[in-house]
Amino acid sequence: RKEVEQDPGPFNVPEGATVAFNCTYSNSASQSFFWYRQDCRKEPKLLMSVYSSGNEDGRFTAQLNRASQYISLLIRDSKLSDSATYLCVVRLFSGGYNKLIFGAGTRLAVHP
Encode burial over 76-91: b for 16+ CB neighbours within 10 A, e otherwise. Answer: eebeeebbbbbbbbbe
Residue 46 in the binding site for another protein (CB under 8 A):
yes
Tell me if the bond preceding 112 is cis, omega within 30° of 0: no
DSSP 66: T
Q: Under the criterion CB under 8 A, does residue 20 sit at the interface with another protein?
A: no
Q: Which is nearer to another protein, 36 or 63 (CB)?
A: 36
Q: Choose, by CB under 8 A, the member of 97, 109, 110, 112 that binds another protein.
A: 97
Binding region for another protein (CB under 8 A): 4, 34, 41-46, 49, 87, 95, 97-100, 102-105
